[in-house]
Chain A
Amino acid sequence: MTTATRRRKPAAPYLMAAPAVLLFIAFFLIPIGYAIWLSLHAMRVRGRGFGVRTEVFVGLENYISAIGDSAMYEALVRMLAYGVIMVPVTMGLALSFALMLDVPKVGLKSFSRLAIFLPYAVPGVIASVLWGFTYLPAVSPVTRIFTEAGLPAPDFFGDVSIYFSIANIAIWGSVGFNMVVLYTALRAMPAEVYEAAKIDGASEWQIAWKIKIPLLAPALIMTSVFSLIGMLQVFSEPNTVKSMTNSITPDWVPLMRIYQQGFIENDIYLSAATSVLLALVTVLLSLAALAVFRFRARRSS
């Protein structure tokens, strides 16, 4: 922008940005600062006999308990098991569907695109209700079909199958959105590249594998980062299905454990320490993914 702008109305951009900045301070910075402050404190009884409970500084004590919390450790392992299924399957399906939509002369294109995208509009809780009933033996149409056929019905709430059952709910809800982002990125690419490859005799498969996927790298990394963040924050699906089965404990994944620490065990200090740790993991993971992205971008340019 020209310097003339700055001289004429120096206040305007500040005023335009002010509401957003103030709300960001009030609902992001202050809560984060408060979470860090809480994580370094605890409620302690002071004095003998009927002591008064007061908030005292305890240093890294909460962090040590948070790291040593075996329930949290188990929750992390379960989250990883869930993520190992959810992230690759979501990305794989989203990429495959996007590439198929981009194949010339595919039938019923707009119908499939819309149908696959629609679950994105269904809240995680409602999606869990939907799928939960199809897993629940008393109501499940799948169980019914198996029993009618005289076969043993699959157990959707088994020790291993539960991970697939929960991952399936998240996959169902997020494939469409990722597919549309990838498909839109594909559409934005210059058609000449494909034309040249076709003249050289490349098949659709080779074009997809050798040209489209490498060109999609930035969009793939962005959508994968979103999926990873989604994995770390998984809450509503297991929390909803919990009421239908005993296979899901109240501390099944990290966020459920944090909720339990903060609102059921009423230890907001420990809960704050755990959530600060989880936030750090999220930020580090995202930064690592972005570093890979930068590295690739530099290499290709």
Chain B
Amino acid sequence: MKLVPTVLLLLGALYSIAPVIWLVFASTKGPGELFTTFSGFPSFNGGFMENVRTLNEFGDGRFWKWTLNSLIYAGGGAFLTVVISAACGYAMAKYKFHGQRLILGALLAGVLVPGITLSIPQYLLLSSAGLVGTYWSVILPSVISPYSIYLCQVYASASIPDEMLEAGRVDGAGEFRMLWSIGLPVMMPGLVTVFLLQFIGIWNNFLLPYIMLANDDRFPLTVGLYSLLNRGASQPALYTLVITGALLSIIPIFALFLFLQRYWKLDLIAGGVKG
């Protein structure tokens, strides 16, 4: 075993998980203990259960509402992204049609446009459509992801052999039938990756929901905890809620991550470099 690289990697791992361990310890502190006891060690006075109970009761279960909202935004948004990106990427990889180069060029340019340049006009446009403050105002702008379309195109060209489609045509299958029963199954590992990247992207997004939403019933976890932290500046008792909420909010995403680890195809992202 090589010692130096192993030790350095472990230091990197420690740096990466230490704040999460601190979060676990800090969430065991009741409101009275957070400022008085050393937060580098856990407390065992039932503080954690008390914090969870307080968080539960906070604003009639607002925290759980935020969690559900995050799931709706990230799950719904990522699912719709995959559907439209897969169809578009497949079409661009497997057909030649007018305007194809234009679409590809526009999409690649789209990757570079900063979020805020889009968010403010998107806000104004959605506001005139009466959609601001609804679930759609966060989902719709998230659904179009040039990067996802690009990955789907790269993956479709690499993984679907033309001969398979030719054989399908000889058998008299329609073009949409082939997308459904040949294209999508072959692309599935790539689509799982696109789904996960997009799920995490939307789950982690702050700016878009922060701009679009005013009513905290619709907040995702990021905006909800941010608003709680802001109020904590004048009411330090809320800090324990923020800490416990932050811990509970990262558990599901870590679980999803660990569970789906083997389905990730990160060589797809790296492979995009060669294309």
Chain A contact residues, CB within 8 Å of chain B? 1-2, 4-6, 8-10, 12-17, 19-21, 23-24, 26-32, 34-35, 38, 93, 96-97, 100-101, 103-109, 111-112, 114-116, 118-127, 129-134, 138-141, 144-145, 148, 172, 175-176, 180-182, 184-185, 187-188, 218-219, 222, 229, 232-233, 235-236, 239-240, 243-244, 255, 258-259, 262-263, 268, 271-272, 275-276, 278-279, 282-283, 286
Query: Other than the known A38-B124, A184-B270, what 8 A-B pairs have Cβ atoms closer than 8 Å?
Result: A16-B91, A27-B140, A121-B204, A121-B257, A148-B38, A268-B120, A278-B117, A279-B113
Which of the residues B8, B39, B269 comes within 8 Å of A139, measured between beta carbons?
A: B39
Cβ of A16 and Cβ of B88 under 8 Å apart? yes
- Whether the pair B246, A129 counts as a contact (CB closer than 8 A) is yes
Q: What are the residues of chain A within 8 A of B120 when measuring CB–CB? A: 35, 258, 262, 268, 271-272, 275
Q: Assess whether B88 is in contact with A181, with CB atoms less than 8 Å apart.
A: no
A9-B174, A134-B22 known; A233-B116 Cβ under 8 A? yes
Partner pick for B226 among A30, A116, A125, CB 8 A cutoff: A125
Name the contact of A20 in the complex, choosing from B85, B233, B261 (C-beta under 8 A): B85
Q: How far in angstroms is the closest Cβ of chain B from A57?
A: 17
Please, how many angstroms separate the alpha-carbon atoms of A124 and B207 in the complex?
11
Which of A17, A32, A145 lies in contact with B91, CB distance below 8 A? A17
Majority DSSP secondary structure for residues of B touching A: helix
Given A24-B107, A27-B118; A138-B144 close (CB under 8 Å):
no
Is B62 among interface residues, defined by CB-CB distance under 8 A?
Answer: no
Q: A17 to B103, Cβ gap below 8 A? A: yes
A-B pair count, CB < 8 Å, reads 297
In the bound complex, residues from chain A placing their C-beta under 8 Å from that of B110 are 24, 28
Q: How far is the CA of A255 from the CA of B118 in the complex (A)?
A: 12
- Residues 1-54 (chain B) with a chain A CB within 8 angstroms: 1-2, 5-6, 8-10, 12-13, 15-17, 19-20, 22-23, 26, 34-35, 38-40
Contact assessment for B121 and A23 in the assembled complex, using a CB-CB cutoff below 8 Å? no
Which residues between 196 and 225 of chain B lie within 8 Å of chain A, taking CB atoms? 200, 203-207, 211, 221-223, 225
Across the interface, do A101 and B9 meet the contact criterion of CB distance under 8 Å? Answer: yes
Q: A283 contacts which of B112, B225, B229 (Cβ < 8 Å)? A: B112
Alpha-carbon distance A164/B65, docked complex (angstroms): 35
Interface residues, chain B, CB within 8 Å of chain A? Answer: 1-2, 5-6, 8-10, 12-13, 15-17, 19-20, 22-23, 26, 34-35, 38-40, 83-85, 87-88, 90-92, 94-97, 103, 106-107, 109-110, 112-118, 120-122, 124-125, 140-141, 143-144, 146, 149, 162, 166, 169, 174-176, 179, 200, 203-207, 211, 221-223, 225-226, 229-230, 232-233, 236, 239, 242-243, 246, 249-250, 253-254, 257-258, 261, 266-267, 269-274
Residues of B within 8 A of A111 (CB): 13
Q: Bound complex: CA of A115 vs CA of B206, how far in Å? A: 24
Asked whether, in the complex, the Cβ of A5 is within 8 Å of the Cβ of B95, the reply is yes
Known: A20-B85, A31-B121, A286-B112. Is A106-B6 also a contact (CB below 8 A)? yes
User: Contacts A31-B121, A111-B13, A114-B261; is A126 near B250 (CB within 8 Å)?
Assistant: yes
How far does the Cβ of A281 sit from chain B's closest Cβ, in whole Å?
9
**Candidate in B87, B106, B144, B233 with the most chain A CB atoms within 10 angstroms:** B144
